[in-house]
Structure 1
């Protein structure tokens, strides 16, 4: 990386995968992951292509070199900084020579270009009449397609970057628990203090101090349980609505200039979404430290799933 530019980050869930090998290139970071449950291996190449046209040939050769050592089940994804088609750009004429060379590489390596289900472009220059391009994408090998035939690629709304984050997904399974616990993220809700105060002061007097204290704690637990019913779902719905509106504004910007009201609304939505993400992060960070969180092995119809998003190859833009 050069400062905040050009960095690559690949991460994985160490409880599910081991990293057997890694290769660092000038434009790529490749890891060979082994799934602990069954020993299956997956090669993931995280990409940040050069913007300098004089380096394109080196970049394409590096992609060919990775293919020569690929394990078969392989995905290659990130910011390629090159178009695959003239339709990948609005407005000005694209560099056809680079497009043809890139298409030749994709053809020679037998890669499948996954379509983005909900976006046409992944980068904007952010101007009033924006230039839009699809620079970010995900390719999969035919063996990956056979192993994960239902692989999908979706775009998330742009929040801090001029690039659109992409999520390549096969399957996801997250176990849930039924025990009552105080969630740390509740402290970011002012209403929780009123709930606790009311419950603490509502217990009857006349009990022995120890029994009164236990009664107060039980009252608080009951009040918090009732107050928190459906809270996570409501917050998730709020987050989804924020994303929908941000996504709608992004799509609208592809067709026309945004109004002043729409331009003012988008940063407000992003601030609210980041707060909701922070609460979600606090929740899962707390759960990652306690003993009651367990990773369940597949049993019967519960098939443990593999999510390509585990590699978190967002280091190119987020």
Structure 2
């Protein structure tokens, strides 16, 4: 499953709605948790705009006036709800994964600004955690940090951090290391930053998905970064280029690639630029390798011929120092080129075998 969480500071802005829908589609999110909807009353008509045209289920906690508000949306073909618990500051949805039957409880959290109220919330969440068995995921805006390095140009309150860490310990929760952005909140003027948003999971959840990843994404239309928890193994598709290690054994190959990388220019999306760059470098490296191998083959043949001449002389008389050094040089170059040829042949044979195997499998499943 993939979980997406973000504090939107209001959901009426159509740009925010389109942004979340785009993130949900791009990252294949099965759960989307939104904090600070700032919406009261019935806004069911607009929820599908965050999700798109596929099936959805959802739960909400209304804002009080223009403060707070929670929205959790999920894919009912992946997660089947069997219970919900609502609070002003959290929205807990209990259900089971349809594929495995595992019970998972997802808690969408928006913590108060007041530290005294937050400490009361931590106590409520600990009791909630102990109330039901199953794997737990606590996500959202906790409005607290755990360590001084999670704030930048912003005051660190050790007492608040102590109570927050105590809640995590009492609830027996653990945290994946977060990639992407270092901080998840940035003030409107851009000077103050903090890591206020996170995922906290139960140990059995991490035990089931030890290789899951958490990433803080770019905050294009909010003061909070969306954070993504992915338990799905990512398939990046076919390798964009295939190179042989033996190419880089050729003297000058690494330097040639470094020069190519330095002169490449491309205007366009970064992912497309990387794909084009790799293919462009591979094409020119391949041309350079073939040209260099042709030169080396000529040199190889010349050295073999010269070595044979020296061996004929050696049968007639003792070789002088110059001839001995030349003989050693010829043998070293021939030996090195034979090694490169052998490496090249092994890698090509392995590559041809993989291609043949792929074709065979494709034929058998067709």
TM bracket, shorter-chain basis: 0.5 to 0.7
Q: Which structure 1 residue ranges, 5 or more long, are not aligned?
A: 175-236, 243-318
Q: Which structure 2 residue ranges, 5 or more long, are not aligned?
A: 1-62, 236-267, 274-366
Q: Distance in 1 between matches of 2:128 and 2:95?
A: 15
Following superposition, the deviation at residue 136 of structure 1 comes to 0.4
Q: Which residues of 2 match residues 85-164 of structure 1 at below 5 A?
A: 85-127=147-189, 130-164=191-225
Q: Distance in 2 between matches of 1:155 and 1:173?
A: 17
What SS class does the counterpart of residue 78 from structure 1 fall into? strand
Deviations 1:182-237 (A, max 9, x none): xxxxxxxxxxxxxxxxxxxxxxxxxxxxxxxxxxxxxxxxxxxxxxxxxxxxxxx8
Equivalent residue number for residue 27 of structure 1? 89
Q: Which residues of 2 match residues 139-218 of structure 1 at below 5 A?
A: 139-171=200-232
> Whose Rg is larger?
2
Q: Distance in 2 between matches of 1:157 and 1:98?
A: 27
Contact 2:182 2:216 (C-alpha < 8 Å) held by counterparts? no
Work out which of the residue numbers 34, 40, 47 in structure 1 matches 2:109.
47
Q: Distance in 2 between matches of 1:117 and 1:26?
A: 30
Contact 1:122 1:163 (C-alpha < 8 Å) held by counterparts? yes
Is residue 151 of structure 2 the alignment partner of residue 75 of structure 1?
A: no
Following superposition, the deviation at residue 93 of structure 1 comes to 2.8
Following superposition, the deviation at residue 54 of structure 1 comes to 2.9
Q: Distance in 1 between matches of 2:205 and 2:103?
A: 11
Q: 1:15 to 1:96 in 2, by over 3 A?
A: same
> TM-score, normalized by length of structure 1?
0.52
Q: 1:69 to 1:40 in 2, by over 3 A?
A: same
Following superposition, the deviation at residue 3 of structure 1 comes to 5.4
Deviations 1:250-272 (A, max 9, x none): xxxxxxxxxxxxxxxxxxxxxxx
Q: Distance in 2 between matches of 1:172 and 1:10?
A: 24
Deviations 1:28-79 (A, max 9, x none): 1111121223322111111101112231222111111211124331111100
Is residue 14 of structure 2 the alignment partner of residue 14 of structure 1?
A: no
Q: Distance in 2 between matches of 1:155 and 1:96?
A: 24
Q: Distance in 1 between matches of 2:162 and 2:231?
A: 30
Q: Distance in 1 between matches of 2:79 and 2:157?
A: 40
How many equivalent pairs are there?
A: 179
What SS class does the counterpart of residue 23 from structure 1 fall into? strand
Work out which of the residue numbers 120, 123, 134 in structure 2 matches 1:61.
123
Q: Distance in 2 between matches of 1:61 and 1:49?
A: 12
Q: Distance in 2 between matches of 1:13 and 1:240?
A: 28
Following superposition, the deviation at residue 20 of structure 1 comes to 0.7
Following superposition, the deviation at residue 173 of structure 1 comes to 8.1
Between Structure 1 and Structure 2, the one with more strand by share is 2
What SS class does the counterpart of residue 63 from structure 1 fall into? helix
Contact 1:64 1:109 (C-alpha < 8 Å) held by counterparts? yes
Spell out structure 1 runs of 4+ moving beyond 4 A: 239-242
Contact 2:106 2:136 (C-alpha < 8 Å) held by counterparts? yes
Q: Distance in 1 between matches of 2:137 and 2:164?
A: 16
